[in-house]
Amino acid sequence: MRSEGIMVLLTTTVIMMYFCWMMSPKELMLMNLQSHKQIIPQKQLQLFVLAGQSNMLGLGGVNKTTLVNGAKIKVWDGVVPPESRPNPAVFRLNEHFQWELGHEPIHYGINCKITCGVGMGMAFANKLLQMDPNFGVIGLVPSAAGGTSVRNWSGDSADNPYRVLLQRTKFAVENGGALRAIIWYQGEADTIHPFNARHYKTGLEKFIRRFRNDLHFPTLPFFQIILPRVRKPFRGTLVNEVKRAQRDTNLPNLIKIETDGLPVSPDGVHLTTEGYIRLGFTLANAFLETKSKLLQNKNVVSVYNTSDYNVA
């Protein structure tokens, strides 16, 4: 009898320890994520494609110096602001074409393994779900490539960044759900070369039409982020020309996001963490305000200003 009592006590203790372990915050999150994956069909994901160059990759918090192959470079400090924390209702398509819980750096593994940090993607998704809790489950499709010009995206199909973008987007649609919009932040590289700046508008319009055509989605909402007010040491001298081209682009379902006034990092062109968060907030508001209009095949061109959105 005594041995049976000891066995009962030990069994009860083990069960209690297991229960406590399972109910820890970390394991609760993992349990929710696992069950979330099981009960949410991938076709229900609300997809947003993130494309462009380094400001879309996200360089927020990239201010820690380290040695890589003998060279000093800046890397992410690992700080995730509350606005950009993981959310059980936000996924990202990783470099292995697998859906996983969204996290910063959102572009890690996709053309960026060292210098990428906090971007706008998670802040955008979290803010959108905060404003509309019934929106559904978001699937982010990071597909940017640092240092690319608009010609890399609007040329023939052999251009690597465009090919990767199209491949990832098609996979996400076929295995994830409804494509809601593309968010585009690019142009810094084109401010350095006169030819690129002069033909930026033509290249941008060609890219938009090409992407929509390849996806058979002629009214795909396109969110164009206009370059911020840059400063030295950034060496692009044709910023105003590229910004003018971005503002002059006029196609159906095009939404322009002004970024003048957002905080810029010491390099003079990339946003700070706060800047990316404010931009994410603006994008969420712009999407929710225009989504009913964008379902129609009309020439919708709206302008949103990030100066109206601050980080608490």
- CATH of 43-308, picked from 1.10.3720.10, 3.30.70.270, 3.40.50.1110, 3.40.50.2000, is 3.40.50.1110
Torsion on CA atoms 154, 157, 158, 159, rounded to nearest 10: 30
pLDDT band for 311, please (50, 70, 90 cuts).
Answer: low
DSSP string, 111-157: S-SSS--B-SHHHHHHHHHHH-TTS--EEEEE---TT--HHHHHS-T
The residue from 54, 143, 149, 154 that is catalytic is 54
pLDDT at 214: 95
How much is the average pLDDT of 239-263? 93
The residue from 84, 143, 149, 270 that is catalytic is 270
CA distance 252 to 255: 9
Ordered by start, the domain boundaries in the chain are: 1-39, 43-308
pLDDT at 296: 59
Q: Say if residue 110 is exposed, middle or buried (CB neighbours under 10 Å; 0-12, 13-18, 19+).
A: buried
CA distance 210 to 172: 18
How much is the average pLDDT of 247-272? 92
Minimum mean pLDDT among 60-74, 131-145, 175-189, 254-268: which range?
Answer: 60-74
Examine the pLDDT at 22 and tell me if it is beyond 60. no
pLDDT digits (tens, 9 = 90+) for 24-34: 333 323 333 33
pTM: 0.83
Residue 54 known to be catalytic: yes
The residue from 36, 193, 267, 302 that is catalytic is 267
Phi/psi zone of residue 104: left (φ > 0), alpha (ψ -120 to 50 degrees), beta? beta
